[in-house]
Amino acid sequence: MLNVDLQKLLKGSMSRYKLVAATAKRARMIVDDAEKDHYIIVEKPVSIAVKELQDDVWSVCDNNN
């Protein structure tokens, strides 16, 4: 189980809902890429997505225009 400091992940005025939705979307992308490349994922996709967010591999964009 991941023990993540949410305050570090919630940058600016991002809501928890937005963080969870974006992380789930990234996890689905990881699974889709693995299936396409016939790669077996050992670690849980959500854990990979959260680690990538912590390491600034990807970020959550604000599309409110």
Q: According to the model, what pLDDT value does residue 31 have?
A: 97
What whole-number distance in Å separates Cα of residue 24 and Cα of residue 27?
5
Band (59; pLDDT cuts 50, 70, 90):
confident
Residue 40 has pLDDT above 80, yes or no: yes
What whole-number distance in Å separates Cα of residue 31 and Cα of residue 43?
11
Domain boundaries, the chain: 14-54
Instruction: State the pTM of this model.
Output: 0.80
Band (61; pLDDT cuts 50, 70, 90):
confident
- Residue 45's identity, in one-letter code, is P
Query: What is the SS3 assignment for 51?
Result: helix
61 vs 16, higher pLDDT? 16
Q: According to the model, what pLDDT value does residue 41 have?
A: 93
